[in-house]
Amino acid sequence: MMRATLLLAIALASSIPAFPQDGGHSQAESDKALAHFFGGLYENASFDSPERYAINKIAMNNWHIRAFEALNNPKASADDKIAGRKELGELRDEILLGRNWPIRQHEECSIPYAKLKPELDGNIDSPAWSQALTFRNEFKLNSTDETKSGAVWKMLWSEDSLYVAAMLPDSSITSYEYGKEQGKGPWNGDCLEIFIMPSMRMKTYWEIVITPDNKIFDGLQRNNKAGEFSGCPEEDMAGLRTYASVLRRPDGSVQGFVVMASIPFKELPNYMLGNKPEAGQSIYFSLVRTNEGDKSSHLPLLYDGHNIFCYTKAALAK
């Protein structure tokens, strides 16, 4: 049903001639130009481009077809046309943001092997963590401008686990436990979100969210062909170990929070049959912190932590 809806929407858009969207043309012509923007876009755009996450929204919800119909139908009501312009205009702008995103390929790095397995004790300066892949500072979503916040992000691996640590400066802490408060998830307060995907081909990844008071949300997610990420919050990662605590200055004021996690490889797609990770293998990941709901990442990230097409690609090194 979704596939048929997508094809109908594309057919409608492709059949409409393009008109420049400026003051020299009527609203009807501008509506046609807006609809025409989407013609063939889903099929012709690269399936591993940064904007693919936004382009997939053409197929993500059946209500887009109503927006296309409203702009193409002269008998549609004024309210339907206004709603259609808003829906498709916002989606067009989101796609254009991705099309102009300057980082066109996955940024690449290496995750060192943990010669010393790190303790989950809050000390990111221990000898074990000193070996880690390290990122400093942070980038607001949809921006390539570095924010000199003093944030520190670290990663290591061993034969059985992937290790993540982050020290995130903050002056106040708000923590929400998943499912405890209506309309408030941990990502609406302060937390670290870890996204780990071993295979771009499978497009299946874990989302692990850890609050400063060590409350956990985790779920096995998948980005499907229609562009949806289908969440499975009932999937809990067996063997996941975490640590989190608020950091304070000598006078008691809040300095930030530290989060650590040990993620079992046997729970990751590609490793669930017991095969061990090996040097040279790759994983894709993103590390996202939320600060009262405002999000930033270890490297520039477009749209959201669920945008697998902008994940960092890391080789396991030994």
- Residue-by-residue pLDDT tens, the chain, 318 positions: 333 333 334 333 333 333 344 455 688 889 889 988 998 888 888 888 999 999 988 877 666 888 988 888 889 999 999 999 999 999 999 999 999 999 999 999 999 999 999 999 999 999 999 999 999 999 999 999 999 999 999 999 999 999 999 999 999 999 999 988 888 999 999 999 999 999 998 899 999 999 999 999 999 998 876 666 677 777 889 999 999 999 999 999 999 999 999 999 999 999 999 899 999 999 999 999 999 989 999 999 999 999 999 999 999 999
Non-local (6+) Cβ contacts of 15 within 8 A are 39
Instruction: Quote the CA–CA distance of 305 and 207 in Å, as a whole number.
Output: 9
Instruction: Quote the CA–CA distance of 75 and 52 in Å, as a whole number.
Output: 33
Instruction: Quote the CA–CA distance of 269 and 203 in Å, as a whole number.
Output: 9
Instruction: Quote the CA–CA distance of 93 and 270 in Å, as a whole number.
Output: 36
Q: Tell me, what's the pLDDT at 228?
A: 63
Q: Kindly state the tokens that stand for 93.
A: 């702008």
Q: Tell me, what's the pLDDT at 156?
A: 98
Q: Kindly state the tokens that stand for 99.
A: 């099309």
Instruction: Quote the CA–CA distance of 121 and 243 in Å, as a whole number.
Output: 7
Q: Where are the domains of the chain?
A: 2-99, 108-316
Q: Kindly state the tokens that stand for 95.
A: 């796609």
Which pTM value belongs to this model? 0.89
Instruction: Fill in the DSSP letter of residue 172.
Output: S
SS3 287: strand
CATH of the domain spanning 108-316, picked from 3.30.360.10, 2.60.40.1190, 2.160.10.10, 1.20.90.10? 2.60.40.1190
